[in-house]
Structure 1
Amino acid sequence: MPRNALNLALLLVTTLLVSACSKQSIYDSAIGWERSSAGLETAEVSIGELDIAYLRSKEAVEGDTLVLIHGFGANKDNWTRLAKEFKGEFNVYAIDLPGHGDSSKPLDIGYRFEDQVNYLNQILEELGVKQFHMMGNSMGGAITALYAATHPDQIQTAVLFDPAGIFEYESELVDRVLDGDNPLIPKKEGDFGRLLDFALEKRPFVPWPIFDVMEEKAIANREVNEVIFAAIRDTGFEPDFRDAITRIEAPVLVVWGKLDRVIDYRNADVFVDAIPNARKVLLDDIGHAPMVETPAESARLFREFLADSVK
């Protein structure tokens, strides 16, 4: 068992021994420990009628700022393992986009990529974050790319982990969705485990009380997830996205797991061909979320990319 997983298991056992805890309180304790060990704390900001939850570094450092954007159906805590690698090195912000995590989840707002870029711009403006490196995974990768194209003066570098937005090469997910089965939207007990097995080749250890709460949250978000997925699907097959990313000025690193079943890794070449200053790294034995599956390697790739970009 990995050291982090062992520490988490010990924390849970201790919590269970000292009190009769509910699954929710165990979940809260475990998530709080993960955040704290990564040097992060929770905060909230409002933009219009939307309440936006996010994680930020507890202590400011002299280094650059790093903004992290999760994927579809995910949340800010997808980044805690990677953020831990950068503790004391970067000022980190991990955002819960509208419709996700602990942020507002209205059904009657836009969830297309350009809508999310607009919300994100308002969030960062409210936080006073003006220049930064941005990383995004899946849907968040597409949002990161479009943000870099739309606000080039703010983006120092961008990292796209298995980004959405281009589906020239179809994946197993496309076949399943066309058959009426979307493994990314849990609807009943057992579906969340299926989602993790489908999306991740190297699935992290998750103790049962935490897993149960995560599954309950995912099922409760089914309606808004269906709205968001429809918006992503519609945006992903439009030529405007491809045209937009040709205007990216910042250096871009595209990182893709070769065992990604959600979006085919061969689409990395399409991104790199379209973006003027982009490079790619393909990871063997990794699925759809490299920053979750191999955070140390993801951090190493970013540091090397950053060092090359500032030469």
Structure 2
Amino acid sequence: MINLEQWRQAGSTFEFQGMPVFTRTGGNPKGPAVVLIHGFPTSSWDWSKIWPKLEARFSLYAVDMIGFGDSAKPKDFTYLIQDQATLIETWLRKQRVGEYHILAHDYGDTVAQELIARDLERRTGEREDDSSLRIMSACLLNGGIFPESHQPLLLQKLLLSPVGFLIARLTSKRKLADSLANIFGPDTPPSDEEVEVFWELITRNDGVGVMHKLIHYMPQRQKFRERWVGALLDTEVPVKLINGPLDPISGEHMAERYRQLILDPDVTLLPGIGHYPQVEAPDLVTRHYLEFHNSLGR
């Protein structure tokens, strides 16, 4: 695992709509580009165990989206999934990335669905822009890709309520640790160091002050279900699901829904693993991701 100080030292800042955004690049500059998209409420550091296992083969790109980690957390931002997708595309163009692969988790799955929808529109001529961006594959870890199967925690429901801003202010490191313990696998709980880093990155730049705004990705999933689920149904881009089945939010029940809706579904369940496969079982996630990538023949 790369510790937080090392993670930050290798990062840089990108300005998006006047806001500072933490980014990190690395790996093999001659390898295929892989964009790693983190989940809620954490940050790109979620990939710190996976990163060293992928950097010999791939050119890696990660970003703390607006409202997360070491990036800006403005009180007056809309926090739409579309905004986060635009952030990623704008940064990739700046990095002169064309073809790229996606590895996403949780909230990042939804951002990936919007990116896939845009990719589909470009391929069919429905989206006219000068972008050379093209998605080559997507691998999704536990996330609410089908809103009807998403089972949010009580805390998430409270954050969506009219008193969500107060709930966010009452959140503590202890409460975070308890929540994580409930969604990780019973034999793969987060370490004290991981909880400490998660908490530091969540609270940086008064992050608790925008958590009740960030959580509105859940009703956005309902509103844009046709677009985002449709993107998975219609895309010709290879997509794989790696799922921690013990996750109460988006575990085996989400994988089962994926099998019901997706033609020729490519699904791998990781026994004993919960909501954060890349943290709980980085070796397994790496192995299955590499097998998926090898199967692409590219």
Task: Give TM-score, length-normalised by structure 1.
Answer: 0.78
Indicate yes or no: 2:235 matched with 1:235.
Answer: no
- Structure 2 gaps of 5+ residues are 121-132
Indicate yes or no: 2:18 matched with 1:32.
Answer: no
Which residue of the partner structure matches residue 175 of structure 2? Answer: 191
Q: Tell me by how many angstroms 1:176 deviates.
A: 7.2
Cα distance change, pair 45–172 in 1 and its aligned pair in 2 (3 A): closer
Determine if contact 1:113/1:143 at 8 Å carries over to the other structure: yes
Pick from 141, 151, 175 the counterpart of residue 161 of structure 1.
Answer: 141
Indicate yes or no: 2:293 matched with 1:306.
Answer: yes
| Partner Cα separation in structure 1 for residue 156 and residue 41 of structure 2 | 17
| Partner Cα separation in structure 2 for residue 289 and residue 195 of structure 1 | 12
Indicate yes or no: 2:249 matched with 1:281.
Answer: no
Determine if contact 2:43/2:201 at 8 Å carries over to the other structure: no
Q: Tell me by how many angstroms 1:113 deviates.
A: 2.2
Cα distance change, pair 259–267 in 1 and its aligned pair in 2 (3 A): same
Task: Give TM-score, length-normalised by structure 2.
Answer: 0.81
- Structure 1 gaps of 5+ residues are 9-29
Q: Deviations over 1:102-158 (max 9, x none)?
A: 111113222232232122211211222211111110010121122122124611110
Determine if contact 2:38/2:106 at 8 Å carries over to the other structure: yes
| Partner Cα separation in structure 1 for residue 200 and residue 13 of structure 2 | 23
Q: Tell me by how many angstroms 1:172 deviates.
A: 6.1
Give the partner amino acid of 1:45.
F
Q: Could you say what secondary structure the match of 1:222 adopts?
A: helix
Q: Could you say what secondary structure the match of 1:266 adopts?
A: helix
How many correspondences in the alignment?
Answer: 275
Which residue of the partner structure matches residue 18 of structure 1? Answer: none
Determine if contact 1:249/1:277 at 8 Å carries over to the other structure: no
Cα distance change, pair 115–291 in 1 and its aligned pair in 2 (3 A): same
Q: Tell me by how many angstroms 1:177 deviates.
A: 2.5
Determine if contact 2:249/2:275 at 8 Å carries over to the other structure: yes
| Partner Cα separation in structure 1 for residue 107 and residue 235 of structure 2 | 17
| Partner Cα separation in structure 2 for residue 285 and residue 55 of structure 1 | 31
Determine if contact 1:66/1:132 at 8 Å carries over to the other structure: yes
Pick from 16, 22, 27 the counterpart of residue 47 of structure 1.
Answer: 16
Pick from 99, 107, 121 the counterpart of residue 131 of structure 1.
Answer: 99
Q: Tell me by how many angstroms 1:165 deviates.
A: 3.3
| Partner Cα separation in structure 1 for residue 150 and residue 92 of structure 2 | 34
Q: Highest Rg: 1 or 2?
A: 1
Which residue of the partner structure matches residue 26 of structure 1? Answer: none
Determine if contact 1:169/1:264 at 8 Å carries over to the other structure: no
| Partner Cα separation in structure 1 for residue 257 and residue 91 of structure 2 | 30
The 5-angstrom pairing of residues 1-311 of structure 1 reads 30-33=3-6, 35=7, 41-57=10-26, 60-152=28-120, 154-171=134-151, 173=153, 177=157, 187-201=171-185, 202-207=188-193, 211-212=195-196, 214-219=198-203, 220-230=206-216, 232-238=217-223, 239-240=225-226, 241-275=228-262, 278-310=265-297
Q: Deviations over 1:52-102 (max 9, x none)?
A: 111111x64321111100001111110010111112211111111111111
| Partner Cα separation in structure 1 for residue 150 and residue 30 of structure 2 | 43
Determine if contact 1:56/1:94 at 8 Å carries over to the other structure: yes
Give the partner amino acid of 2:222.
F
Determine if contact 2:184/2:273 at 8 Å carries over to the other structure: yes
Give the partner amino acid of 1:290.
P
Give the partner amino acid of 2:10.
E
| Partner Cα separation in structure 2 for residue 175 and residue 48 of structure 1 | 31
